[in-house]
Amino acid sequence: MRNVSLYHHLICFSLLLVTHLTSVSSWKRDEFRNCNQTPFCKRARSRKPGSCPLITADVSITDGDLTAKLISKNLENPEDQSPINPLILTISVHQDGVLRLKINEDPSFDPPKKRFEVPDVIVPEFLEKKLWLQRLSEEVIGGDSGPSSVVYLLDGYEAVLRHDPFEVFVREKGGKRVLSLNSNGLFDFEQLKVKKEGEDWEERFRGHTDTRPYGPQSISFDVSFYGADFVYGIPEHATSLALKPTSGPGVEESEPYRLFNLDVFEYLHESPFGIYGSIPVMISHGRARGTSGFFWLNAAEMQIDVLGSGWDAESGIALPSDQSQIDTLWMSEAGVIDAFFFVGPGPKDVVRQYTSVTGTPAMPQFFATAYHQCRWNYRDEEDVAQVDSKFDEYDIPYDVLWLDIEHTDGKRYFTWDRVLFPHPEEMQNKLAAKGRHMVTIVDPHIKRDESFHLHKEATQKGYYVKDATGKDYDGWCWPGSSSYPDMLNPEIRSWWADKFSLENYVGSTPSLYIWNDMNEPSVFNGPEVTMPRDALHYGGVEHRELHNAYGYYFHMATADGLVKRGDGKVRPFVLSRAFFPGSQRHGAVWTGDNTAEWEHLRVSVPMILTLGLTGITFSGADVGGFFGNPEPELLVRWYQLGAYYPFFRAHAHHDTKRREPWLFGERNTELMKEAIHVRYALLPYFYTLFREANTSGVPVMRPLWMEFPADEATFSNDEAFMVGSSLLVQGVFTERAKHASVYLPSGQSWYYLNSGTAYKGGRTHKMEVSEESIPAFQRAGTIIPRKDRFRRSSTQMENDPYTLVIALNSTQEAEGELYIDDGKSFEFAKGAYLHRRFVFSNGKLTSSNAAPSASGKRQFSSDCVVERIILLGYSPGPKSTHIEPANQKAEIELGPLYLRNGRSPTVFTIRKPNVRIADDWMIQVL
C-alpha cells in the first residue's frame, strides 16, 4: 500500500509541476483574484465619498504624542446593528519632517484577538528621533462648527487633526496643504467580532476555502497629494514609472494596483497586477509644490486606486480649490493603520525621510556590484569549469557564477548532488583563486523527507508554519511535499541563520553566497500559488496578516546567517525575489521571471527606478529575459542597458538555449564584452554611489526628475534614467533602431560618452544609434572616476590606477567624489575608508578629504594613483600642468577617451600625473 500511496503522490506532483511549468507559456489571469473577487476590495470601492461617520474626541498630549479617540456619530453599524467601538488614534512627530499616525482598536473593549503590527521593520534609530510634543493649539478649519488640533511638525510645517469630520493633514505654515488622509471621507475600519450563529465568514476561490475565523477586518481610507502632477511608487508592478489612474471617468483599466507577493510566471507588462514584492510607499511630485510621500506599514494584501480627475464629481465635498491634487484610495485586508507622512520638499528629502524609518540600503561587497553569470542550471562541475574558462578565453570579466536548484541532492537545500558536484569546495576555491565567487540557491520550502536532517529537526522543534487546524502546513513546491519555516519567530530566524555556518552547510566555503527564490512564498497547489491566508504563524498570527513580509523575514534570516558565518566581520550578499519595506538592509532583489521581449527590456527601467524610489537601490532585471530565446540584437541591447543596472546579472530558464556571450558569433561577442567592460570601468563610480545610498537612501539609479525636479519634461520620462547625478542613460527598446530620441535636461551641456562631443540641455536630440552602444551622457560640471584596465574579476582590479573624467561646464568648472574601502568587511562603519572630493575651478584640480573627521577612527589607505585625467570641454591653450605638493610637471596632450577601444576618439588628457588617490593634492593648468 505504501508503494501505491507513493506512486499516487508522485503522479499528483507531476501533474502540479506540469501545470506550473505550462503556465510559463501564458500567464493565466483567472488563476488570481481580481478586485471583484476580493470582498474587502469590492466593499471599499463601493463606498461613497463622505460616508465615514467618525469624529474626533478626547484629544490630549500623552507621553509626547497627540492621542485621541475616533467615535462614530452612528451608535450602531447599519449593516448588522453591532455597536461601533471607539478607535484609538496616536500622532507622533519625528525629526526631519516625518509624521506617524497609528489607529487601532481600543483594547479596553476586549477585541477577540490583537491585530497584527509588523515587527522588525522600523529601525531603532528612528524611534530615538521622536520629538516630544509639549502642547497643541486649536484652530477652526473652514466652516467647521468646532476647533481642530494643530501640532508642530517641522520649521514651516504643521500637522492638523480635524475633529468633525475626522481628517488628518499636513500643511505649510502659510496654510497650503501637502498631504491629507480622509479628506474624501472614505475611511473605514472593520472591527474584529465574535462570530454569531449562522454567520458565514468563509471565502472561496478556485476550490480553496479560507475559513476567516475572525471575520472581515479590512481597513480603507483615502490619501490626497497636493500640488502633485504625478504619483510614483508602490512596487512591484510591471508598469510605467508615473502611476496611471485606475478609477474615474475615462479610465479603461479598472483594476487597482495590487500589493500581494505572488509567484507570477512571465508577468504582463503594463499591468497593475502585483507580483513578487510589496512596498506600500507612494511619492508625489509636481512643479508647484515639490515632492511628498506616504507609507503604510502593513503586511496584509493591499489594493490601491489612483483616482482620476473627476472621480468625485458628484460627492459634494469641497476641498481646497487653489491647489491641484491627486487622490488615492488605500485598501487592506487586515492589520492596523501605521502610516507615515513625508513632507519633502525635494525628491531626495522624501527618500531620506522614508529610509530614516526603514533603514538605508546595506553597503554591498565590491564584487557584488560587478557582473554575475547565472542559468537554471549549470549542469555539473565540468560545466562550471568550462564556462569559467571561456570567460577568460574571450577576455570577458565576470565576478560571480550562480547555481540554481539542480545543484542540490533532490531539491534538499544546503546539500549537493554528489554525482554532478562531487567536489564543491574545490570548485569554489578554483573560482576564488581568480577573485571570483559562487552563489547557490536556498529556497524556503523544506522537503518533507524523514531522512533529511533539516526537515527532521524543524519538525521536532515545531518550527514550521501551521495550517488552520494547527498541523504543520504541507504544500507543494520544487521538492514535492514541503513545509515552510515560520520566519516571523526570531528564534526560528536565528536557527535558520546557523545553517549557513561552514560546519552546517557542508561543501560551502567563505566565497559562497546565497540566493533566496520562491519566498513570496510560492506554493504550487496553494490558493493563487501561495500559502492559505488562514495558515498560522508565531503568536497566533494569521498568514493573511503578514503575507507580504514572509519573504522579508526569510531574506533577513539568510543575511544574518552569512554575517554569523563571517563572525560579524564580512558583509553578506543575498539576492531575494520577494521583498518588503526594510529589505534594502539585507541585500539585493531582482524583478523576477521576465521574458525575452523588447517590451520587457523597456519595462525593466521603470521597475528598477520605482524600487529605488522606495528604498531598494540594489536591484536589476534578468539580462536577456528569463523565459524565451532572445534574438542576438535584443540580447546585445539588454547587456548594454543592464551594464547600468545597479544589479547586473544574466539569467535564463533551463528550457532556453544556452546564451553565454560567446555563443552568438564574433561580432555579438565583442558587443556584449564591450558592454561588460563599460560596467567594469565604471565600478569605482558605482561603488561611490552605493555608499551614497548607504548613508542617505538616495538610489544609485534615479528618475530624471530626481536630479531635475523643476524640469517638467522629465516627470513622466521612464525610458531614460540617471546613474547618480553625473550619467544619463537612454535605452534602445526597438528592433533595428537607427535613431533614438533623447531628452537632455536643461541647465547644462551633456557629453556623449562614446565621443566626448557636447550636446545642449533642455531639448530632445534625435541621436543616430549603432549596434555598438546605447546613448549615454556625462553631465557637464561633473567628475567621474574610472578604472580602465581590465582583469578577470573586479577583485583583481583593486590596485589598478584611476582615470578621472572631468566634464567641464560653461564656466570651466566640475566636481565629483570617490569612495573606497576594503570592499568586503564592516570596518568602513568604524571609519576605515577613503572619501575624496575633486574640484576643478580656475584652471586648478584639487583633491581633498570629504570624510568627516572623528577621533579613534579606523584607518584605511590605498597606494593607487591617478594615471590619466581626461578634460572634456577643455578650451585649448596651455599644454602642461604643475602638481603640488610634489612640485612636478605633467603634460596635456591628445589621448584616447578609452584605452580598450582601438578606434577611440582623442581628447585632452593629463598623462601620468601619478598622484596618490589617498592624498591631498593640486594640479594647476599652466
| Radius of gyration for the chain, computed over Cα atoms and rounded to the nearest angstrom | 28
Per the CB < 8 A criterion, the answer to whether 146 and 113 are in contact is: no
Of the candidates 399, 520, 674, 707, the residue annotated as catalytic is 520
Nearest to residue 439, comparing CAs of 641, 649, 660, 680? 649
DSSP assigned state of 466: B
- Whether residue 149 contacts residue 264, with contact meaning beta carbons closer than 8 Å, is answered with no
With a CB cutoff of 8 Å and minimum separation 6, the contacts of 116 are: 299, 300, 334, 335, 336, 541, 542, 545, 546
**SS3 assignment, position 635:** helix
| Residue 249: burial class (beta carbons within 10 Å; 0-12, 13-18, 19+) | exposed
Contact between 367 and 690 under an 8 Å Cβ cutoff? The reply is no
Query: In sequence order, what are the beta bridge partners of 820?
Result: 834
| Buried-exposed string 18-40: b where 16+ CB fall within 10 A, e elsewhere | eebeebbeebeeebbbbbeebeb
CA distance 253 to 247: 8
DSSP 8-state assignment for residue 904: P
Q: DSSP states of 155-200 as a string?
A: TTEEEEEETTTTEEEEEETTS-EEEEESTTS--EEPPP-PPPTT--
C-alpha cell at 691: 555608499
Dmax over CA atoms of the chain, in Å, equals: 93
Task: Please name which of 778, 585, 571, 823 lies closest in space to residue 684, comparing C-alpha atoms.
Answer: 823
What CA–CA distance (Å, rounded) separates 312 from 318? 10
65 is catalytic: no
Measured CA to CA in angstroms, residue 305 lies from 204, 228, 326, 610 at distances of: 24, 16, 11, 17
Q: Nearest to residue 99, comparing CAs of 407, 343, 302? A: 343
Helical H segments across 736-881, by residue range: none
Q: What b/e readout covers 733-769, taking b as 16+ CB neighbours within 10 angstroms?
A: beeebeebebbbbeebbbbbbbebebbebeeebebeb
Distance CA 715, CA 432 (A): 45
Residue 367 grid cell: 564584487
Q: Could you confirm whether 622 is annotated as catalytic?
A: no
Task: Give the residue from 451, 625, 472 showing the smallest Cα distance to 535.
Answer: 472
For this structure, is 155 an active site residue? no
Altogether, the residues listed in the chain come to a count of: 926
Is residue 710 helix, strand or coil?
A: coil
Catalytic residue among 467, 593, 711, 817, which? 593
| Residues 189, 217 contacting (CB under 8 angstroms) | no
Residue 167 C-alpha cell reads as: 481628517
786 touches 802 (CB < 8 A): yes
| d(C-alpha 523, C-alpha 515), whole Å | 18
Q: How far apart are CA 879 and CA 881, in angstroms?
A: 7
Cell numbers that stand for 75 in this block: 451608535
C-alpha 257/C-alpha 801 separation (Å) is 48
Task: Give me the catalytic one of 312, 404, 467, 517.
Answer: 517
Spatial distance between the Cα atoms of 91 and 109, rounded to a whole number of angstroms: 21
Task: Just list the catalytic residues.
Answer: 517, 520, 593
